[in-house]
Structure 1
Amino acid sequence: MTRRLIHPRRWSPPAVTDPGPTGPLAVRRLPTGGHGPEDVVFDDQGKIITGTADGRIVRIDPATGDRTVLAETGGRPLGLHPRPDGGVLVCDHDRGLLEVRPDGSVEVLVDTVDGEPLTFASNVVQGLDGTIWFTTSTSQWHLDQHLGDVFEHSNTGRLLRRDPDGAVTTVLSGLKFANGLVLAPDESYLLVAETTGYRVQRHWLTGSRAGDTETLVGNLPGFPDNMWLGGDGLVWVAIAAPRNTLLDRLLPLPGFLRLLVWNLPAALRPQPVPIAWVMAFDLDGSRVHDLRVADGSYGFVTSVAERDGVLVLGSLTEDDVAVLVRGT
């Protein structure tokens, strides 16, 4: 594959602080029948929903491992949002924002924004009135070269809204690889993960601060990806990889240095550390859990979902989902 030229933007990241893990994990795998379960969510019945690289949306029983194919999107599903009727909203990298109906039929809800093709739709949530919010990570790069955006720091991520009448509005732009989304229990705000900004932002939807954006959790020690509001009331954040010391040093320097590193053979460029890592925060942004499996048995965690104390992880690079039970 031809490597694209990058156009680096300079940014000075905060010095990394890492207080370390807070507890052990027990791990087991559940095969998906495919590859790359990038997002994992629980439906109302406690089943796991995920999407694989071949376009399938799969439901998995966490107790037995039984699998059911719900639909085939014809693209590359990423972020998911289960609906009470058994349907699923899907951010599909190739096709845009999709609706998978309970009967398995698929409808494209959004494939253009402001007259341009919708690119790299990443994660999605829906409000009680049918309003849908979703992110796009970058307008410059595709999934198979997503590290190009990490090096370039293009800041072309967006938060978008689809109203029940189908109108689509850009709510926020200029985001640093916009990714996971969480809607507050009272729908007063959204939480947005900025993967290459090492932070989780809170965007207010109602009240006197409607339209304001603030940092809920900043200076994370890794790259935050998809998020989930657990039944425990905590915001669970998947950490795809620890921050890279070389990249952090290069970001504030002239861009040609990153261009040189980007053009090195792949084996010589900075690589993600294989670690299974999730963090949890309360709704005030205080860290509650920091759970890691660093033996290389599972890595590049891009999603996490919690139900009844059980944590399920997804990964862009693994074949299986991982079920983690928090230790004591």
Structure 2
Amino acid sequence: MDRRTALVPIRYLTLPGHGPEDVVADPGGRVLTGVSDGRILRIHGLDDPPTARVEHIAEIGGRPLGLELLPDGDLLVCDADGALLRVDPEGGTGNVRVLTDSAAGERLRFCSNVVALPDGTVYFTTSSRIHPLEDWMGDIVEHTGTGRLLRLEAGAAQAEVLLDGLQFANGIARSADDSFLIVAETGARRLTRFHLRGPRAGQAEPFVENLPGFPDNLWRGAPDGPVWVALAGPRVPPLDLLHRATPAVRRRAARLALRAPFRPSGTTGVLAVDDDGRITRHLTRRRSGYRMVTSVCETGGRLVLGSLWERGLAVCEAPVTG
């Protein structure tokens, strides 16, 4: 299915910080996000912007990207500077603990997104082993294929590598029954399935390919709900051609891309995907004033969008079920 419907904006909430890259909603309808100066923010009353309150709950000292709320209320945070963190939102701004900063004997870099399973096992992605966050465009253009899916067992100090060679591994989500994970490969415009149980446990396969844009963070609320996929930008056909060129050509193109001014596309989009790999919703808006949507969550009958580019959150209509 690719029946596109309009992504309808309702309101915009300016934040005291830049680049709310990931957004997650807690059971009380509050939205949590991280901004570029390292702060973790919690937004109360998003349904009523004049009375909305932004609470500063933590300072990680790095650049927060992917977030995951745990059943006990703690928050897992991917630090783009190279660590997976655990934050107690109620413990004051200094209550941040490093869970791991290494995998397979080397220091992590560019931690991107994370999920936790009920048994305490944590799975997370790293987008690139070559380019840091500030050079993300270089990795997309060079098509390095150095992204990874990692696992951190409960109580372990070092993560293990489950998948290597991913094209800018990014968002991650659980299936409804926790039998597999869904990983966004931004640079390949696809979602990949990694089996956790059954005869194919430990194996990966394409889940949804040839997406209409570049998938970024993934979010699932209830197990019976869809996996929401943020599209950071629409497909760029010349980039598809460049990815078929030799590594040397792609490296030169990446160097040029990093020196060129960047402005995100005005096309905004999000997808809803079910556990059979079907796209059940494709919401899009052309000439959008809110650009580079890197995350989406659903709360209070609304979709909340985050962006690496913007200084706030966008609230949009959620599609009617059925």
Q: Is this a same-fold pair by TM over 0.5?
A: yes
> Could you tell me which amino acid in structure 2 is paired with residue 189 of structure 1?
F
> Could you tell me which amino acid in structure 1 is paired with residue 177 of structure 2?
D
Query: How far 1:23 moved relative to its partner?
Result: 3.4
> Could you tell me which amino acid in structure 2 is paired with residue 320 of structure 1?
G
Q: Deviations over 1:266-325 (max 9, x none)?
A: 686786413321011111111111111222300111111123431111100000011111
**2:257, 2:279 → 1: CA distance?**
38
Q: In the TM superposition, what are the counterparts of 1:39-78 in structure 2 within 5 Å? A: 39-61=22-44, 62-64=46-48, 65-78=52-65
- Give 1:244's match in structure 2, choosing from 236, 240, 254: 236
Contact 1:43 1:83 in 2 (8 A): no
Q: Deviations over 1:105-141 (max 9, x none)?
A: 0011111222321100000011111111100000100
Q: Secondary structure, in 3 states, of the residue corresponding to 1:225?
A: strand
Q: In the TM superposition, what are the counterparts of 1:102-251 in structure 2 within 5 Å? A: 102-104=90-92, 105-166=95-156, 167-231=158-222, 233-251=225-243
> Could you tell me which amino acid in structure 2 is paired with residue 224 of structure 1?
P
Query: How far 1:256 moved relative to its partner?
Result: 4.5
**2:13, 2:308 → 1: CA distance?**
15
Determine whether 1:82 maps to 2:64. no
Query: How far 1:22 moved relative to its partner?
Result: 2.2
Distance 1:295 1:189, change over 3 A: same
4+ residue runs over 6 A deviation: none
**1:247, 1:302 → 2: CA distance?**
19
**2:149, 2:98 → 1: CA distance?**
18
**2:275, 2:300 → 1: CA distance?**
19
**1:128, 1:119 → 2: CA distance?**
26
Contact 2:176 2:275 in 1 (8 A): no
Query: How far 1:151 moved relative to its partner?
Result: 1.2
Distance 1:259 1:164, change over 3 A: closer
Query: How far 1:265 moved relative to its partner?
Result: 7.2
Q: Secondary structure, in 3 states, of the residue corresponding to 1:133?
A: strand
> Could you tell me which amino acid in structure 1 is paired with residue 79 of structure 2?
D
**1:265, 1:222 → 2: CA distance?**
19
**1:44, 1:268 → 2: CA distance?**
42
26-35 vs 270-279, which deviates more? 270-279
**1:26, 1:129 → 2: CA distance?**
38
Distance 1:314 1:257, change over 3 A: same
Q: Secondary structure, in 3 states, of the residue corresponding to 2:315?
A: strand
Q: Secondary structure, in 3 states, of the residue corresponding to 2:4?
A: coil
Determine whether 1:275 maps to 2:267. yes
- Give 1:290's match in structure 2, choosing from 266, 282, 285: 282
Query: How far 1:254 moved relative to its partner?
Result: 3.3
Query: Percent of pairs identical after alignment?
Result: 46
**2:76, 2:262 → 1: CA distance?**
34
What stretches of structure 2 of length at least 5 have no aligned partner?
none
Contact 2:142 2:254 in 1 (8 A): no
Partner of residue 4, structure 1? none
TM-score normalised by length of structure 2: 0.90
Contact 2:82 2:107 in 1 (8 A): no
Q: Deviations over 1:225-269 (max 9, x none)?
A: 000113461111000001212211222123444445444476867
Number of corresponding residues: 311
- Give 2:81's match in structure 1, choosing from 94, 104, 107: 94
191-200 vs 275-284, which deviates more? 275-284
> Could you tell me which amino acid in structure 1 is paired with residue 139 of structure 2?
D
**2:212, 2:98 → 1: CA distance?**
37
> Could you tell me which amino acid in structure 1 is paired with residue 14 of structure 2?
P
Distance 1:213 1:294, change over 3 A: same
TM-score normalised by length of structure 1: 0.89
> Could you tell me which amino acid in structure 2 is paired with residue 26 of structure 1?
P
**2:292, 2:7 → 1: CA distance?**
18
Distance 1:20 1:273, change over 3 A: farther
Contact 1:200 1:215 in 2 (8 A): yes
Q: Deviations over 1:11-50 (max 9, x none)?
A: xxxxxxx946223413311222100000000112111000
Contact 1:23 1:327 in 2 (8 A): no
